[in-house]
Amino acid sequence: MGRVPGFEAAFASVAGGVSKLSDFGVSVAACLTASALNIGYAPVIKAGTAALERDRLSHVAQNYLAAETFSLANAPLIEEQAKIGFARQLGGGLVAAIDGMRFVVPVPSIYTRPNRKFFGGKRGLTWLNMINDQGAGLGAKVVTGTVRDSPHMIDVLFRRDGGQRPDIIVTDTGSYVVTWTPLVPQAPLDT
């Protein structure tokens, strides 16, 4: 948790405060692991270790883990990824792609809509994601499953979690044809 500066600090409470819990990073790491692996808390709970007690993990998940904190925590990870030599060899982060993936959602949600073409008789949503030539998950947005990607693509581009603003955007026809020219030229990466 402390290896990438700014990662742990991004997990502020819903009230905006920084946690004063001892071993807070351990609790966040346990919650992130449980969520990422979809295993629940049981495998990461350790009785007698305050940072890994069920009540602590529940408190941390409810008060410190939210879409906003995930985006804030993603930014320093994106910056660190861009510093890796192999990632730099792939490019300077100036070529990006934004595309949508559609999912059937089995529970009611304000984002779901019916669309027989994509979801049969069910309801679903679209998850737009941005990648570049250095990494994936630079920004994302959930939109209703029936609207065109193109109006929301610009939102993903300008509200990305981190990384350099790209010079070139690659899309499929769902986002129509897009030509992107940055308003302000960016300095090249140092080599």
Query: Which residue bears the tokens 């669309």?
Result: 115
8 HSE (CA, 13 A, CB side): 16
Q: What is the pLDDT of residue 191?
A: 47
Contact between 27 and 56 (Cβ < 8 Å): yes
Structure token pair of residue 149: 């990607």
List alpha helices for 37-115, DSSP H: 54-64, 67-83, 85-90
Give helix 24-36 / helix 54-64 axis angle, nearest 10°.
80
Q: What is the pLDDT of residue 189?
A: 54
Structure token pair of residue 91: 């490019």
Q: Which residues in the chain come in under a pLDDT of 50?
A: 177, 179, 191
Return d(Cα 85, Cα 104) in angstroms, integer.
39
